Structure 1
Amino acid sequence: MTDVAVIGAGPAGLMAAEVLAQGGARVTLYDAMPSAGRKFLMAGRGGLNLTHSEPLPQFLARYREAAPKLKDAIEAFSPDALRAWSEALGEPTFVGTSGRIFPKAFKASPLLRAWLRRLDAVGVAFAFRHRWTGWDEEGRLLFRNPEGQRAIEAKATVLALGGASWPRLGSDGGWVDILAAKSIAISKLRPANSGFTVAWSDVFRDRFEGQPLKGVTLTIGAHTVRGEAMITRSGIEGGAIYALSSELREAVLSVGQARLTIALRPDLDVAMLTTRLSGTRGKQSLANFLRKAAQVSPVGIGLMQEAAIASGRPLASFSPADLAELINGIPVQLTGVAPIARAISTAGGVTFGELDEHFMLRRLPGTFAAGEMLDWEAPTGGYLLQASFATGAAAGRGVLAWLAKS
């Protein structure tokens, strides 16, 4: 008998396995993919953002309504603890200019390799190409592998199966129906930290696809974020968009569209911009005048042209005051949410009401859940990985406590 089965070899599952093995449990870690940490490796392609350096109260607030449910786990395995853990694996970290924390190697692969070596050293066994399909009548775990079906008896189980983004890397949401059949309440999986679709004109799309918007402020309703975004062929994405993705997504899903407002020069008020734009243009084109007088980028000017077209007025007819208002108030109509398969992460999942304080499923004693499959979401910036690590560690501790009482 396997003492504990951990299902899912992402950050939450790997951390649960480490805590369990170090606590004396015999652990086998199962995963449907041929190797561990595939989405973790993808997250590190542009620099592995492990966590964030901001004070813990502000850090926890990033999880919004899920913060009270995650608080104990994150305090027990805090950003500082995560940095110390990484350094113990030979991967010291540094704080970037934005406050984000990265390993000095800036990649996921060295950290993952060191982690897997540690897990091997403490006796964790791995069973890859094992897709979990549920339980049999005797309560044994069922897996489909290249040889057929396999039934495993375990004293306890940790489910760390991820969400439904990037399914080709292993997180396909296939667990939803399995747990729903056991009457586990699951909030619908939805794309988080995702892009959105916009009906750009052909001219704008062809010219500005792939162009960044830097130092802009994005607003929906009462929510405003400053940062960067990227024009895509079908819409818009990027860090500032991801930070607002919850509000934008809910607006699109509820009324079919969302109105995003973009401020291109947020450090200049309308009066200052109006003064700058009241000078003589001479023989300059309007685009050159906007670029020189107000330092609006070509892609920003393109956005202004899109807004003017939508309003039915040519941009050249705008007064200096109208142009100033538009520069810091460009309306962009979002018409849809990018597919969940292309989202960075997933909202929704197993509701916290189904879990006890140790992350055990109340309806399934001895079965614990951790990571992105739980009903929380957070912006990019290190918050996603931090909560995955922390809930994995918490589930591991919960299993040890439960085994000690069993």
Structure 2
Amino acid sequence: MADIIDIDAAVIGAGPAGLMAAEQLALGGMRVTVFDGMGAPARKFLLAGRGGLNLTHSEALPDFLARYGAAQAHLTPAIEAFGPEQLRAWADDLGQPTFVGSSGRVFPVAMKASPLLRAWLRRLDALGVQLRLRHRWTGWDGEGRLSFDTADGPRSIAARATVLALGGASWPRLGSDGSWSDLLARKGVTVAPLKPANCGFVAAWSALFAHKYQGAPLKNVALSFGPRAVRGEAVITRDGIEGGAIYAISAVLRDAILAHGEAKLSIALRPDLTAADLAARLAKPRGKQSLSTYLRKAAGLSPAGIGLLQEAAHGTGVALATLPADQLAALINAVPVRLVATAPIAKAISSAGGIALGEIDADYMLCKLPGVFAAGEMLDWEAPTGGYLLTACFATGVMAGRGALRWLQRA
């Protein structure tokens, strides 16, 4: 297959960051080709949108920016340039208006990702952006050209600027497998190890508990670890625990496990009740009721909550039926759960780690690779679910695309 030698910019990765970079370059009049290893673009984006595409969040920008933790200072210029308001306006311009849900999260009215993606691809096509699928990037050849494996064999591509937007390492079957990290490391680029983010965890469940309660929800609970606390829901899995509330504190739990081999999570099953109120309810005579029935009626616990309480008591050798009301109340709102590992990164919603932020300049160009830019989850940042992940992918894609455009205009 003949080389493509006359393109201005190559974008590698057809997810939100890559497509946004391509749009910025094409709007600037550049000839752009987007390459992706999969047979269709934006596979993970489409999966994320199946249950309702959470594009961004409506909270005040200072609170929004704080969600990025240690990466806040680096990401602030990008999100100030293309944040929630600009993202909503962009979607509306594509004919995909958005609305704010009761939680403050922002969704397209159509809810799904597919209508937005179709409209976006039509716009990119009208701008002249070319899309080359089943092109798996393998690095650079001896002449500095981009190398790809294709169904027709190896291919080399010459481009005046390159934007890398290959994603992290979660959901590798959809194309983001993190294999690019070794390619960049060999070029001297510092790449932090890729780790699961917004992930579930492995808990030391007994076989009986895991068999009986896997898939059971824990609703309206409060989770805490150290100074971090969050309200929400979680789901018991065969191997541990996952769900929105878990994802919200997954970073601190993951880092504790990496440092100490375990993390002690505390779960409040009835966080809306004070210890005194709960103890008063539990002080009433149990009569002939089974313990499970009594806990369900007196404390309002779900079957899964009761099972979790019994599992915790079993682990400490304590018989729940022998505990005084005040001690039982205390345990109900501080059930200890020992987490011993993260769930595999392939099952995580996103990943942390990646290209160190100090390796890119204000235009998102790699300082050690002039003319090569990077965006999205390839960079070393993480954020909770709730629209923050996608917003930063879009925003860094805009920055990398505009940076590459300036580079080409100066050349």
Q: What range is the shorter-chain TM-score in?
A: over 0.9
C-alpha displacement at 1:104, in angstroms?
1.1
C-alpha separation in 1, matches of 2:89 and 2:220: 33
Q: Indicate which of 372, 379, 389 corresponds to 2:377.
A: 372
Q: 2:57 aligns with which of 52, 73, 87?
A: 52
Determine helix, strand or coil for the equivalent of 1:13.
helix
Q: Which runs of 5+ in 1 are unaligned?
A: none
| 3-state DSSP of counterpart to 1:149 | strand
Aligned twin of 1:125: 130
Aligned to 1:224: 229
* Counterpart residue identity of residue 350, structure 2: S
1:8-59 CA-to-partner distances (Å, cap 9, x unmatched) read: 0000000001111011111000000011000001111211110001100000
| 1:347-391 residue CA offsets vs partner (Å, 9 max, x unmatched) | 000001100001000011110000000000000000000000000
CA offsets 1:218-247 (integer angstroms, 9 cap, x no match): 011111111111111110000111111111
State the SS of the aligned residue for 1:282: coil
Q: Give the aligned partner of residue 399 of structure 2.
A: 394
RMSD of Structure 2 on Structure 1 (CA): 0.8
Residue from 267, 285, 288 that aligns with 1:283: 288
| 4+ runs deviating over 6 angstroms | none
What's the counterpart of residue 66 of structure 1? 71
- Equivalent position of 2:3 in the other structure: none
Q: Are residues 1:301 and 2:306 paired? A: yes
CA deviation after TM superposition for structure 1 residue 203, in Å = 2.2
Q: Which whole-Å CA distance do the structure 2 matches of 1:70 and 1:103 have between them?
A: 24
Which residue of 28, 31, 47 maps to 2:33? 28
Amino acid corresponding to residue 278 of structure 2 in structure 1: L
Equivalent residue, structure 2, for 1:338: 343
CA distance in structure 2 between the partners assigned to 1:56 and 1:214 by the alignment: 29
Give the match's secondary structure for 1:47.
coil
- Is the 2:8–2:408 Cα contact (8 Å) retained in structure 1? no
Q: Quote the residue 1:79 is aligned against.
A: 84
Which letter does structure 2 place at the counterpart of 1:3?
D
Letter in 2 for 1:114: A
- Trace 1:130-149 onto structure 2 (pairs within 5 A): 130-149=135-154
Match of 2:362 among 357, 366, 385: 357
Question: What residue in structure 1 maps to residue 94 of structure 2?
Answer: 89
TM-score (norm 2): 0.98
Does residue 189 (structure 1) correspond to residue 194 (structure 2)? The answer is: yes
Out of 207, 214, 218, the position equivalent to 2:212 is 207
Counterpart code for 1:125 = Q
**Unaligned residue ranges in structure 2 (runs of 5+):** 1-5
State the alpha-carbon separation in 2 of the partners of residues 189 and 242 from structure 1. 17
Matched AA of 1:222 = P
2:266 aligned partner: 261
**Counterpart Cα distance in 2 of 1:340 and 1:180:** 20
What is the deviation of 1:202? 2.2
| Amino acid paired to 1:224 | A
Alpha-carbon distance between aligned partners in 2 of 1:373 and 1:269, rounded to the nearest angstrom: 45
Alignment of 1:271 onto 2:276 = yes
Aligned partners of 2:338, 2:215: CA distance in 1, in Å? Answer: 19
Residue by residue over 1:77-112, the C-alpha shift from the partner in whole angstroms, topping out at 9 and shown as x without a partner, is 010111111111111111111111111111111111
* 1:155 aligned onto 2:160: yes
Counterpart Cα distance in 1 of 2:331 and 2:165: 47
Q: 2: distance between equivalents of 1:304 and 1:129?
A: 50
For 2:249, the equivalent position in structure 1 comes to 244
Match of 2:323 in 1: 318
Asked if the contact 2:357/2:380 (under 8 Å) is kept, the reply is yes
Q: Distance in 2 between matches of 1:398 and 1:238?
A: 37
TM-score under structure 1 length normalisation: 0.99
> What residue in structure 2 maps to residue 115 of structure 1?
120
- Residue 62 of structure 1 aligns to which amino acid in structure 2? R
Letter in 2 for 1:207: K
Q: What CA deviation, in whole Å up to 9, does each residue of 1:161-209 have, x standing for no partner?
A: 1001110100000100100000000111000001001121222212211
| SS state at 1:308 partner | helix
Tell me which of 178, 182, 202 is aligned to 1:177.
182
2:172 to 149, 154, 167: 167
Tell me, in whole angstroms, the C-alpha distance in 1 between the residues paired with 2:47 and 2:205: 29
CA shift at 1:280, angstroms? 1.3
**Structure 1 residues 261-302: Cα deviation after superposition (integer angstroms, max 9, x where no partner):** 000111111111111111111111111111111111111111
